[in-house]
Amino acid sequence: MPFQFKPYELRGNLNRKQYFEGWFQKIYLKELQVSMIIIYGYATRNTEDTTGFIQLILPGNNPLLLLYPKSLISWDTKKHIIQIGNNYFSPEKIKIQTNEMQVDLQLVNNQVIKTFRNSMGYHYFIPNLPCYHSVMNRSHLVSGEIYYQDNSYSLNSDWGYWEKNWGTSFPENYCWIHAVDPKNEQVSLLFSTAEIKWLGKSFKRHLGHIRLGEREIDLRELKGFTLEILLLTHNNHVIRISSNKIHIDISITIQYKAILKGPVEGNLSRDILHHTDATIDVFITENEMTSMYRMIGNYENICSGAKA
């Protein structure tokens, strides 16, 4: 795999063996105080009839997995448009249409990071990592309509977040959190740590940020970074991030669980336990002062010894 100079770009390579490219769209519905998930992409080790995929978590419903033939996948790399069957995905629009579902969404106020200063920084220059990550849009507004069976949802400037992954496989062990403050769209959290295996070696890396209005804490830039699991029970996880000048405790109270599918060597075959709408309390201590932020978020903890 070539160096990842442009983490934002659509790669679009159906001819690579053991390869995937997937996009993750999260939308927080302010009125209902719940989130919905739209994941789409392709996995080249799936069969010809199931190469393209769309996964959805709609409020109050079990996850949906839609599969499409390789022949029905196309894209425009310059405009970052991907079409899977009759479904259309771009930075400005999402349209999904099946016999039971109709999704018609508009996305505005995009906040894109197109350079290698994105989430993985200089690690984009390392070739052949099993998985790369990019934040496509830290915060945007989503409006439109969703119809599924007998349910309908109207969105009016609800909050969106967009990221992507590509490579061969998700890391075996990782932790991922994204959360928003339901009372303040300017407050959000992204944190991920993963064990990366490369050329017979293994190392851990982390990424993420905490947005507090005009202030942003880049978690990659913390000096003397350490990570500690303080609590790991059936419904409660507590993570402590420490550095030379700041300490951050992330307390997660798990609410709902869903099983999604993730890639293994280019095949969409791994069960991923995804927690939706968890209560996430963030305590930030610096200069002997502690501030607390209550957020609602999504959480995956695929770590050795973790309890689901």
Amino acid identity of residue 200, one-letter, is: G
Per-residue pLDDT at 306: 41
Cα–Cα distance, 224 to 220 (Å, whole number): 10
Residue-level pLDDT at 255: 86
Q: Provide the pLDDT for residue 305.
A: 41
* CB-based contact 255:279 (threshold 8 Å): yes
Number of CB atoms found within 10 A of residue 51's CB: 24
**How far apart are alpha carbons 145 and 61 in whole angstroms?**
17
Which segments of the chain does DSSP mark as H helices, in order? none
The whole-number pLDDT of residue 69 equals 98
CB atoms within 10 A of CB 99: 5
Coil, strand or helix at 85: coil
Closest by CA to 128, choosing from 201, 184, 186, 55, is 201
Look at residue 138 in the predicted model and tell me its pLDDT.
80
> Please, are residues 227 and 237 in contact by the beta-carbon 8 Å criterion?
no
The residue whose two tokens read 């442009």 is 6
Q: Do residues 53 and 261 touch, judged by C-beta distance below 8 A?
A: yes
Residues 6+ apart with CB under 8 A from 183: none
Q: How many helices (H) and strands (E) does the chain have?
A: 0, 21
**Residue of 237, 233, 251 whose CA lies nearest to 290:** 251
Is residue 219 classed as helix, strand or coil in its secondary structure? helix
pTM for the model: 0.91
Q: Tell me the residue type at 17.
A: K
Sequence-distant (6+) residues with CB within 8 A of 120 are 4, 7, 132, 133, 134, 205, 207
Cβ-based burial of 91 (10 A; exposed 0-12, middle 13-18, buried ≥19): middle
**Which pLDDT belongs to residue 113?**
55
Is residue 30 classed exposed, middle or buried when 0-12, 13-18 and 19+ CB atoms within 10 A define those classes?
A: middle
CB 13 within 8 A of CB 21: yes
If the chain, 308 residues long, is cut into consecutive pieces of 10 residues, what is the mean pLDDT of each piece?
56 87 95 95 96 95 95 91 96 95 92 52 63 84 95 94 91 92 92 81 83 91 92 92 96 93 96 95 96 96 52
